[in-house]
């Protein structure tokens, strides 16, 4: 058996979702007051349903829709939930399960169970939505439903507004709820932060476990398996925030490696860098952590050069983060630190400001610096309030261009990659070819890339790195040769 | 680290899918000839697409649609595939990937890669389907497409026929393909059997690993984690055939425990029975194995009574299985053996034939005896050729009522459960109350249930149990107290 953990799964406080609802209600009421609209009607959300695979009866393990999870914390499929804007009452609508459910799927829980467990005012059945909401309505005329409809700026897809039988007796508002609820999710509460800290703790520990067990000759997926096992066995995390990226060698330059068409199946070779981007989820809240390290446990000078460039960028950003700081500026700061390091290492030549003007940073780091993190890995709200995406390479990949605010949790994940599909055009471009030291670039062919990703909470005066992995080169080498983590009698890392 | 394995992931022979296509083509041509229809046109299948979670960009790990997997063996999403009925040529249509794919998702593989890897005649792009099929067509008039459309009798859902741009230039046949292709899947080839044997081997080994590590005080999901880790780490199995059922105590009477609303989260208590139904998948082919055992490693006399009843049924069925035997008869045989054992144990009273006439077996075993197993856990084809589902309790749950044929792989999974939702009505029923020994039944309150499930290949003269778990009580107790598996110097189990 794998060595055990210092952690154990914490109790999940359902007060978290009570507070989420209070926050939403307050925010929505304030908006309605400011728009001189009546404080009546209902927020109505539809939870997710179990999905089968194509035409078969193979049921995919259900994970709740994220907005519904935020507001109600319900893990079971087939629910609806409402908040009465007049009274603040919360109502859950549970599916009416057939008697056979008890034989095949488990105890049919009484409504009191859901009422107590999810700390709501009332529990009814989903076939009673129309009647119950009509009965509760305190305004005049047809009751108004605030439904969730809005764009996810990462997927370019729209959320699906709730639908139920008898809906034609209600008026609906599709505009108001989405931006208000999304903004609630952007600023994390203390209870939310505690869960994200826990997923960071167990995932950080699992990353260390993976580092310690990485050996030349293994398959990439074996390290994925170790991570999944550690976070589930000891951390109680049944889901990951996203499919594990276990990239080694050249694969580490493939930003979203690990999917079905590139399934973590390469054999680790001596001299490879590993880039492992893996994060566990606990009670819907996630983590998103990347560690990069040499698979044989010892950095070469080229590996140190690139790793150091990225770590300096990571640390510079975290040192600069505080409320009011623009995320675009942080992205540029990371680019600049990386380009300066690459210049010191003779990978690029010339004036760094000129490189910045030509967006050379995006050749080495085509992705954005980071994204909000919460119930979704790419938590929504990055472009609220009519913020526009930038057009320039690199900046256009940013998942937010907002200024930092206290309570945001955002990933800091600078990277530096040698990607032929980007390098070759840039090296052949008249404006940018001069910056590249062809000979040195040639040396990095097949190197892949380095990413260092931490989850960072913005505080009143600065920020707090929630991720606790070995980051310094000497820390990584020590841990990979068997030293305990955290290291003893040393100054702590950022 | 967990102890290692004697197994390692085998090379996947793509000849398997070449042979699957040959078999389909032969079968379809024969059908067309017999119906005096021309031997022209194309089989056209559409592979699966990656799915995102609700409106987010969270992509679920893709697993190919099962019919497409059978015919083409393609692991990547977004493909179509055709077979030219005139020539036997196979054509894969790959998605045309945008240049950014190389940055974010990996190398854009050339068509020659797919042609060689999947052993097809030709590879084109999905936007060329209409033109390519028109060019290949050797018949007269509009080319005919045989599309997949038919009922899955486990899910009651229909498969989705292929759709593509330019389809209006073709005639389509929605009736012919589904029963023929489904029947191909029912009878397994040697190469298919070898993969199913491998998933059985690695899953059997993982079950033993789980047994050995089961301790009072653990959480059910920790055993799930051990199983997943063993089959992925050592077996290269990224997917399971289905969500793990790790049921202990009373939960072992919940037939499909383990889903999101009943998520393997109970703490193991001294005196519990465990019922662990878990099977890994490798290159689409699955396994489906259940082991039942006391969590503390020692059977009580009541546990032995129920376990022995189920094991005797399991062994009796396997001893009787051979081509020509009716699966309904096997189900009844299992019921009868269980009822006879329960009678010996004074759980039920009276004449077993009378009990059979009243369908008393279905009170203790409400599910069917077993189902076809292959690329789907509940592999299709159970009710082909207008076979009708039975109406009686227990028998109506059978996923097939067919006679056994050589090459079928079918699960044998008798069970005996104490389910209040079934026992209480039967004990209150005038016709059946007399059979129950109320006092003894009372003793089994909270017992849960026992299931023993093996994957069995029907051979020319009998059958072959592909599952290699400890089954005898003394074997289980030996393995749980540390003995190696397989046990040395002992006769083998069935
Ligand atoms: Mn990230
Ligand atoms: Mn089964």
In this complex, the residue of B59, B221, B259 whose CB is nearest that of residue A105 is B259
Q: Which of A9, A409, A486, A492 is nearest to A205 (CA)?
A: A486
What's the rounded Cα separation, in Å, for the pair B271 and A416? 56
Angle (CA) B54 A411 A333, round 5°: 130
Per the CB < 8 Å rule, is A236 touching B221?
Answer: yes
pLDDT of residue A138: 85
How would residue A489 be classed by pLDDT, with cut points 50, 70 and 90? low
374-403 of A, contacting B, C-beta below 8 A: 376-378, 380
Q: What is the largest CA-CA distance in chain B?
A: 76
pLDDT of residue A488: 83
What's the rounded Cα separation, in Å, for the pair A243 and B155? 28
What's the rounded Cα separation, in Å, for the pair B100 and B190? 41
How would residue A484 be classed by pLDDT, with cut points 50, 70 and 90? very high
Distance from CA of B72 to the nearest CA of A (A): 15
pLDDT of residue A4: 84
Q: For chain B, percent helix, then strand, then coil, each to nearest 5?
A: 35, 15, 45
pLDDT of residue A1: 39
**Touching check for B7 and chain A: CB below 8 Å?**
no
What's the rounded Cα separation, in Å, for the pair B365 and B359? 10
HEC string of B129-181 equals HHHHHHHHCCCCCCCEEEECCCEECCCCEECCCCCCCCHHHCEEECCCHHHHH
- Find residue A436's DSSP bridge partners: A348
Whether the full predicted model's pTM is greater than 0.80, yes or no, is: yes
In this complex, the residue of A1, A236, A255 whose CB is nearest that of residue B2 is A1
Spacing, Cα A451 to ligand 1 middle (Å): 10
What's the rounded Cα separation, in Å, for the pair B301 and B444? 12
pLDDT of residue A444: 97
How would residue A491 be classed by pLDDT, with cut points 50, 70 and 90? low
- With residue B290 as reference, give the H or E element that holds it: strand B289-294
What's the rounded Cα separation, in Å, for the pair B313 and B320? 11
- Find residue B453's DSSP bridge partners: B290
**Touching check for B212 and chain A: CB below 8 Å?**
no
pLDDT tens per residue, range B62-115: 999 999 999 999 999 999 999 999 999 999 999 999 999 999 999 999 999 999
Give every residue of chain B whose pLDDT is below 70, as ranges.
Answer: 1-3, 489-494
Burial of residue B408 (number of CB atoms within 10 Å: 0-12, 13-18, 19+):
buried
- Written as six digits, the tokens of B26 are 């032969």
Count CA atoms within 13 Å of residue A84 on its CB side. Answer: 19
Q: Is A240 helix (H, G, I), strand (E, B) or coil?
A: strand
- Written as six digits, the tokens of A465 are 């790195």
Q: Which residue of B has its CA nearest to A259?
A: B61
22-51 of A, contacting B, C-beta below 8 A: 48, 50-51
Per the CB < 8 Å rule, is B104 touching A256?
Answer: yes
332-351 of A, contacting B, C-beta below 8 A: none
Burial of residue A6 (number of CB atoms within 10 Å: 0-12, 13-18, 19+):
exposed
Q: Most A CBs within 10 Å: which of B1, B49, B54, as the mutation test of the A interface?
A: B54
What's the rounded Cα separation, in Å, for the pair A296 and A269? 8
What are the backbone dihedrals phi and psi of residue B97, each rounded to the nearest 5 degrees, phi first? Answer: -90, 140
pLDDT of residue B1: 39
- Find residue A290's DSSP bridge partners: A277, A453
Beta strands in A101-186 (DSSP E): 122-125, 144-146, 151-152, 157-158, 171-173
> Nearest ligand to the C-alpha of residue A454?
1
416-445 of B, contacting A, C-beta below 8 A: 419-422
For chain A, give the mean pLDDT: 96
Q: Which of B195, B159, B163 is nearest to B73 (CA)?
A: B195
In this complex, the residue of B155, B236, B265 whose CB is nearest that of residue A57 is B155
pLDDT of residue B386: 83
pLDDT of residue A63: 98
Q: Which residue of A has its CA nearest to B449?
A: A103
The ipTM (two decimal places) reads 0.97
Count CA atoms within 13 Å of residue B200 on its CB side. Answer: 22
In this complex, the residue of B57, B77, B378 whose CB is nearest that of residue A260 is B77
> Nearest ligand to the C-alpha of residue B241?
2
280-309 of A, contacting B, C-beta below 8 A: none
Burial of residue B417 (number of CB atoms within 10 Å: 0-12, 13-18, 19+):
buried
> Nearest ligand to the C-alpha of residue A414?
1
Angle (CA) B183 B188 B193, round 5°: 160
The answer for residues whose C-beta is within 8 angstroms of residue A411's C-beta and 6 or more apart is A288, A370, A371, A373, A453, A454, A455, A456
């Amino acid at each position: 058996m794998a060595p055990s953990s210092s952690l154990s799964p914490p109790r999940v406080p359902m007060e978290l979702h009570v507070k989420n609802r209070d926050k939403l209600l307050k925010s929505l009421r304030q908006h309605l007051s400011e728009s001189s609209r009546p404080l009546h009607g209902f927020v109505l959300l539809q939870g997710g349903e179990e999905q089968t695979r194509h035409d078969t009866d193979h049921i995919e393990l259900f994970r709740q829709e994220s907005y519904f999870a935020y507001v109600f914390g319900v893990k079971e499929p087939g629910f609806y939930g409402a908040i009465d804007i007049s009274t603040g009452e919360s109502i859950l609508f549970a599916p009416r399960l057939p008697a056979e459910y008890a034989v095949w799927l488990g105890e049919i829980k009484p409504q009191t169970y859901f009422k107590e467990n999810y700390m709501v005012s009332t529990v009814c059945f989903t076939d009673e939505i129309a009647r119950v909401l009509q009965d509760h309505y305190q305004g005049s005329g047809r009751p108004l439903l605030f439904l969730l409809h809005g764009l996810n700026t990462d997927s370019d897809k729209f959320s699906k507004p709730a639908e139920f039988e008898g809906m034609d007796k209600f008026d609906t508002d599709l505009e108001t709820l989405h931006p208000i609820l999304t903004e609630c999710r952007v600023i994390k509460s203390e209870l939310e932060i505690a869960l994200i800290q826990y997923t960071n703790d167990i995932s950080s520990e699992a990353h260390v476990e993976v580092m310690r067990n990485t050996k030349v000759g293994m398959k990439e997926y074996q390290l994925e398996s170790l991570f999944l096992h550690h976070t589930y066995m000891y951390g109680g995390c049944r889901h990951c925030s996203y499919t594990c990226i276990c990239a080694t060698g050249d694969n580490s330059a493939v930003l979203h490696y690990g999917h079905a068409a590139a399934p973590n199946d390469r054999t680790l070779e001596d001299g490879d860098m590993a880039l492992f981007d893996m994060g566990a989820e606990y009670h819907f809240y996630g983590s998103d952590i990347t560690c990069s390290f040499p698979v044989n446990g010892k950095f070469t000078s080229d590996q140190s050069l690139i790793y150091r460039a990225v770590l300096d960028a990571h640390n510079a950003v975290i040192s600069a983060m505080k409320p009011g700081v623009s995320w675009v500026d942080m992205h540029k700061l990371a680019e600049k630190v990386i380009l300066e390091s690459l210049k010191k290492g003779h990978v690029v030549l010339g004036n760094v400001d000129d490189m910045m003007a030509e967006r050379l940073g995006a050749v080495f780091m085509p992705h954005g610096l980071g994204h909000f993190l919460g119930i979704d890995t790419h938590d929504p709200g990055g472009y609220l309030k009519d913020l526009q995406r930038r057009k320039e390479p690199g900046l256009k990949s940013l998942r937010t261009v907002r200024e930092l605010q206290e309570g945001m949790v955002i990933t800091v994940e600078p990277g530096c990659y040698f990607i032929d599909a980007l390098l070759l055009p840039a090296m052949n471009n008249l404006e940018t070819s001069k910056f590249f030291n062809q000979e040195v670039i040639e040396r990095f062919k097949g190197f892949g890339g380095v990413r260092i990703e931490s989850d960072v909470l913005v505080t009143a005066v600065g920020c707090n790195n929630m991720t606790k992995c070995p980051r310094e080169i000497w820390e990584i080498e020590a841990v990979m040769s068997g030293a305990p983590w955290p290291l003893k009698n040393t100054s702590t890392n950022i």
